[in-house]
Amino acid sequence: MNLDAMLADLEELVQCESYSTDHAAVERSAKAVAAQGLRLLGAEPETIVIDGVTHLRWSFGTPRVLLLGHHDTVWPIGSLLAHPWSVIDGVARGPGVFDMKAGLVQLFHALASLPSLDGVCVLVVGDEELGSPTSRPLIESVAAGCSAAFVLEASAGRGALKIARKGVSRYELLVYGKAAHAGLEPELGANAGVELAHQILAITEIAHQVDSSSDAGMVSVTPTLLSSGTSTNTVPATGRVAIDVRVPDLASQSRVDELMRALTPRLPGTRLELLGGPNRPPLDPASSAALFARAVRTAEDLGMGPLEGVAVGGASDGNFTAGAGCPTLDGLGAVGGGAHAADEHVITGEMPVRARLVAALVGSVLAETAP
- Dihedral Cα 254, 256, 262, 268, nearest 10 deg: -160
pLDDT value of position 77: 98
Neighbours of 264 (CB within 10 A): 9
Average pLDDT of span 111-138: 97
Q: Tens of pLDDT along 339-354?
A: 999 999 999 999 999 9
Q: At what angle do helices 3-15 and 350-368 cross, to 10 degrees?
A: 100
Average pLDDT of span 79-100: 98
Tell me which residue of 143, 129, 135 sits closest to 49, measured CA to CA.
135
| Domains, in order of start, for the chain | 3-165+282-368 (3.40.630.10), 167-280 (3.30.70.360)
Give dist(CA 52, CA 33) in Å, integer. Answer: 17
Average pLDDT of span 351-362: 98
pLDDT value of position 97: 98
pLDDT value of position 370: 84
Q: CB–CB of 139/317 below 8 Å?
A: yes
The type of residue at 219 is V
Which residues are within 8 A (CB) of 203 and not within 5 positions of it... i.e. 6 or more apart? 173, 221, 223, 241, 243, 260, 263
Neighbours of 44 (CB within 10 A): 12
Phi/psi at 289 (5° precision): -55, -50
Q: Tens of pLDDT along 139-195?
A: 999 999 999 999 999 999 999 999 999 999 999 999 999 999 999 999 999 999 999
Is pLDDT at 130 greater than 70 in this prediction? yes
Is pLDDT at 211 greater than 80 in this prediction? no
Average pLDDT of span 242-266: 96
Give dist(CA 86, CA 259) in Å, integer. Answer: 48
Is pLDDT at 215 greater than 60 in this prediction? no
Is pLDDT at 212 greater than 80 in this prediction? no
DSSP structure string for 305-360:
----EEEES---THHHHHHTT--EEB--S--EE-TTSTT-EEETTHHHHHHHHHHH
pLDDT value of position 371: 82
Average pLDDT of span 115-125: 98
Tell me which residue of 268, 90, 260 sits closest to 169, measured CA to CA.
260
pLDDT value of position 1: 85
Average pLDDT of span 88-115: 98
Model confidence at 356, in pLDDT bands (50, 70, 90)? Answer: very high
Q: CB–CB of 228/240 below 8 Å?
A: yes
Average pLDDT of span 61-74: 98
Mean pLDDT taken over the chain:
96
| Helix or strand holding residue 363 (H, E) | helix 350-368
DSSP 171: E
| Helix or strand holding residue 221 (H, E) | strand 220-228
Q: Where are the alpha helices (DSSP H) in 135-247?
A: 136-143, 192-204
pLDDT value of position 78: 98
Average pLDDT of span 79-90: 98
pTM flag (> 0.75): yes
Q: Minimum mean pLDDT among 9-18, 19-28, 264-273, 312-321: which range? A: 312-321
Is pLDDT at 214 greater than 80 in this prediction? no
> How distant, in Å, are the alpha carbons of 202, 222, 247, 311 from that of 207?
10, 9, 9, 19
Which residues are within 8 A (CB) of 65 and not within 5 positions of it... i.e. 6 or more apart? 119, 120, 121, 146, 147, 148, 149, 150, 362, 365, 366, 369
Tell me which residue of 172, 220, 180 sits closest to 196, measured CA to CA.
172
Q: Tens of pLDDT along 305-348?
A: 899 999 998 899 999 999 999 999 999 999 999 999 999 999 99
Q: What 3-state class would DSSP assign to 253?
A: helix
